[in-house]
Structure 1
């Protein structure tokens, strides 16, 4: 999944573009308090669908943990490998 936030919008709505449907999702604030063993983040910029959406959004820098908010999630082709990194206080897995 690709978690992005473009510009400063109050919220996102689902859309259909080029045959791909995105979803507008609300992430509650303080999602980093979720159990990190259950709420994994796999990847960098492009994340595995096994990742916690809210934690991946904080990792990507498109959402602040203390504020929460709406994000746009769009499915992309599955990858064999994901890149691990440490960003915004979260270590992702590969």
Structure 2
């Protein structure tokens, strides 16, 4: 246990019910929609080849975010976001 887990509002997986888990939201700036896809990417200048960073996307912004990453040669793949990915 970490001392910070005792602070009010701290998320502790051992005591916090799963229903309190916030819904994943889109990574597009200003968007608060529920995420449905995960875009896996990495920056080869600073990450090892196997490392994957993840952006979340709603159905409206998945193409925009994918295009953004592809134009910079950072995109690796897009996968559906499933409940097990959130837990």
TM-score range, shorter chain: under 0.3
Bigger strand share: 1
The structure richer in helix per residue is 2
TM-score by length of 2: 0.28
Larger RCO (CA under 8 A, 6+ residues apart): 1
Question: Could you say which structure has the larger radius of gyration?
Answer: 2
